[in-house]
């Protein structure tokens, strides 16, 4: 208790001097400015903007790392005794097989759709994880030994809505394509309508169609908002030091930011990757084998 | 007390901004309240279930994380809605 009083007392005493210093500073720190994407390599095809920016760079890096994980852990020379590398690869495979694919997909469709859901799981996990490793991929530059080097920054490609929406759109398209192919168009769209009296149809059918599009929104917004909120929390806690302009605040802000960082890295990153893949498997599975 | 705060806001001319900030924080706070109850419920039920039938832990874990993520997402819809309202209005 005495310690607390001492800390807050010191905070209070230190506040005015630093606050005055902050007002003279050139610009105010704003955590949201991390999400403005500047064009690095402008590519414009008519009205379509395909420029390479921070998020695209992170996505490309994520794709390379996902491929490396696949090659390193899954392509193990046969004939030798199992080593740790192989054990790790088999653990990843087992999670994708037992927890994701078998949970949602019917047995006959696992062969076709297991690669898709397993790729989704690994790719989203890698991109999420890259977002919590400080990488020199940011718009601000710092001069080290005469060289302009980008500063280290935390940014996840999955904390931009376009990335998650594209991933969700893939699942959305695959769901309906597979549903139509497995059941035929008439049978498939009939399976959307639940067992209700015919008088309820005008009420139920629009709701069911809306529900299909709500899946798209919920799938993309869940991943996007999770990663956005995680990064925002960490940045805001660290940014408080600069916004209020008080170094003593670091005694509270840094441990709080570190706690949120650990929570995100240990739980949220993996759970979100798992959820996205598992829900994709469930949606595709329910389109192939409707309940009635 | 309240009038003094209002007076402060009026003098700096940020009444609308202050109102938006309060609404955003309140909206997310209330959203988090509901999701907090829901997530607590899920993990509480999971502990009970595993205490009764420890051998089902593996099977239940998948469902538990699914339920956790579905519940937790509700806060984020609130957050996105709040941020949209904050930026657009």
Q: How far apart are CA A124 and CA B45, in angstroms?
A: 29
Tens digit of each residue's pLDDT (9 = 90 or more) over A233-272: 898 888 888 877 778 888 888 999 999 999 999 988 999 9
For the cut 50, the answer to whether the pLDDT of residue A18 exceeds it is no
For the cut 70, the answer to whether the pLDDT of residue B9 exceeds it is no
The per-residue DSSP string of A19-76 comes to HHHHHHSSS---GGGGG----SB--EETTEE--B-HHHHHHHHHHHHHHHHIIIII--
State residue A67's pLDDT score: 94
| Cβ within 8 Å, pair A272-B69 | yes
Mean pLDDT of A154-162: 89
Mean pLDDT of B67-80: 85
Q: In B, what residues contact A, Cβ < 8 A? A: 62, 65-66, 68-70, 72-73, 76-77, 79-80
- Does residue A125 sit at the B interface (CB-CB below 8 Å)? no
Q: Which of B68, B70, B76 sits opposite A229 (nearest CB)?
A: B76
**Could you tell me the residue ranges of all domains in chain A?**
19-288
Tens digit of each residue's pLDDT (9 = 90 or more) over A115-152: 999 999 999 999 999 999 988 887 777 777 777 778 78
Alpha-carbon distance A272 to nearest alpha carbon in chain B (angstroms): 7
Do B9 and B20 touch, CB atoms closer than 8 A? no
Q: How far apart are CA A132 and CA A125, in angstroms?
A: 11
Tens digit of each residue's pLDDT (9 = 90 or more) over B10-61: 555 577 778 888 888 888 888 899 999 999 999 999 999 999 999 998 888 8
């Amino acid at each position: 208790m005495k310690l607390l009083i001492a800390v807050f007392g010191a905070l209070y005493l230190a506040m005015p001097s630093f606050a005055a210093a902050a007002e003279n500073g050139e610009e105010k720190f704003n955590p949201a400015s991390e999400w403005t994407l500047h064009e690095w390599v402008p590519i414009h095809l008519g009205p379509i903007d395909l420029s390479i920016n921070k998020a695209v760079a992170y996505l490309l890096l994520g794709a390379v790392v996902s491929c490396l994980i696949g090659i390193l852990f899954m392509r193990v020379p046969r004939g030798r005794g199992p080593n740790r590398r192989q054990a790790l690869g088999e653990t990843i495979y087992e999670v994708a097989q037992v927890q994701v694919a078998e949970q949602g997909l019917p047995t006959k469709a696992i062969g076709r759709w297991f690669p898709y859901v397993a790729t989704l799981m690994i790719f989203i996990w890698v991109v999420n994880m890259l977002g919590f490793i400080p990488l020199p991929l940011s718009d601000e530059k710092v001069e080290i030994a005469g060289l302009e080097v980008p500063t280290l920054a935390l940014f996840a490609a999955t904390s931009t809505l376009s990335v998650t929406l594209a991933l969700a759109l893939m699942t959305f398209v695959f769901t309906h394509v597979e549903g139509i192919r497995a059941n035929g168009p008439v049978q498939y769209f009939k399976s959307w309508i639940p067992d209700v009296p015919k008088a309820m149809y005008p009420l139920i059918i629009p709701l069911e169609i809306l529900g299909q599009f709500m899946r798209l929104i919920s799938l993309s917004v869940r991943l996007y908002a999770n990663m956005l909120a995680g990064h925002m929390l960490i940045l805001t806690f660290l940014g408080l030091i600069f916004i209020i302009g008080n170094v003593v605040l670091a005694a509270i802000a840094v441990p709080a930011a570190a706690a949120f960082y650990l929570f995100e890295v240990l739980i949220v990153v993996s759970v979100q990757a798992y959820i996205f893949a598992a829900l994709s498997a469930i949606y595709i599975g329910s389109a192939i084998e409707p309940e009635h | 007390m309240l009038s003094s705060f209002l007076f402060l806001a009026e003098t700096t001319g940020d009444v609308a901004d202050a109102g938006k900030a309060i609404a955003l924080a309140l909206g997310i706070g209330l959203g988090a309240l509901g999701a907090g109850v829901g997530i607590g419920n899920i993990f509480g039920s999971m502990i009970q279930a595993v205490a009764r039938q420890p051998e089902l832990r593996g099977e239940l874990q998948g469902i538990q994380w699914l339920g956790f993520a579905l519940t937790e997402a509700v806060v984020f819809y609130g957050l996105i809605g709040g941020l949209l309202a904050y930026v657009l209005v």
